[in-house]
Structure 1
Amino acid sequence: MHKPRRDDRRLAHRTPSAPAQGQTFRIPAAGADVVLVGYFSAKQKDFETVMASAATALAAHGAQVVARIVQRRGVSAGGAGKMALPYSSRTLLSYGKVREVARRCEETDAAAVVFTTPLTGRRRRTLTGMLGRPATSVTDVLPAR
């Protein structure tokens, strides 16, 4: 028998305001609110330093980081057992974490979501559609040095 899908599993469908393919994302305006998201394995112990340096670099380029969200993989006993399994190739995050990011974006009315990890074009499009705001990586936002 078919089970109806729970309402909380579906994110609000909105028209994404994603940048055109091939263009890099620009912070919309000076002082724009962004949510910073990091994806780290359990082996990477300096994730707080990476998040802090990304937030500092974004602030130097006119963005205001209103929330920081971290997805750690392989930290718990259950998570360590799943390390051999592939993560979500569509979103880089677990589905629950995507919902948490979407909720935080709604609460803070963020203009964009910036990931510390480089995103593929497919991930960028998927996350932009799911979150209802541009999703990009720090390397796309900040100019090359």
Structure 2
Amino acid sequence: MRRPRFTPARRRRDRRLARRVPAKSGRRRASSVTVAGADVVLVGYFSAKQKDFDTVMASAAGEVAGLGGRVVERMVQRRGVSDGGVQKMGLPYSSRTLLSHGKIREVIQACDRTDADVVVFVASLTGHQRCVLTATLGRPAVSLSDILPEPSS
């Protein structure tokens, strides 16, 4: 007697988005990186739709100078419009580094050329991005919101 052939049910891949669990104690702060007395490379990531990026970069440089840092280089990554790129305008080039590989190389060269101590990103960075960028750049990488003092309420 021949046994019926057993075919296991195909598992479906869950296509629902994972839920993010909010932090319990408010906003998490970066490790104690201070820009007072440090040479800073300021990096901004902007979409092509945002026309006032020069103003945002100047404001960020003023914030860093107000904290005692010296901006030695400003670098901007702009997300251009290409075929099919309009839908991806809000997304970074790389979820690990926020920037393209070529721009990362340019930031490394600028840091080496200017002997910068810290790299400050105008955009918010996740903890993983902060770790990857710090390892890649060879110096602390933080977002501007991480180094600004918290407003007193």
Percent sequence identity over aligned pairs: 60
Partner of 2:141: 135
Residue matched to 1:82: 85
Aligned length: 121
CA contact (8 A) 1:38 1:115 kept: yes
Specify the structure having the higher radius of gyration (Cα).
2
Question: Which one has a larger percent helix, Structure 1 or Structure 2?
Answer: 1
Q: Which runs of 5+ in 2 are unaligned?
A: 1-27
TM superposition score normalised by structure 1: 0.77
Dislocated runs of 4+, deviation >6 Å: none
Query: Deviations for 1:54-108, whole angstroms, at most 9, x for unmatched residues?
Result: 0001101110000000000025xx4x64344552100000000000000000000
Q: Tell whether the 8 Å contact from 2:30 to 2:146 is kept in structure 1 after alignment.
A: no
Asked if residue 104 in structure 1 is aligned to residue 107 in structure 2, the reply is: no
**Distance of aligned partners of 1:37 and 1:98 in 2 relative to their CA distance in 1, 3 Å threshold:** same
Distance of 2:143 and 2:133 partners within structure 1: 11
CA RMSD of aligned residues (A): 1.8
Secondary structure, aligned partner of 1:43: coil
SS of 1:71's equivalent? strand
Aligned-pair CA distance for 1:52: 0.3
Report 1 or 2 for greater relative contact order, CA contacts < 8 Å, sequence distance ≥ 6: 1
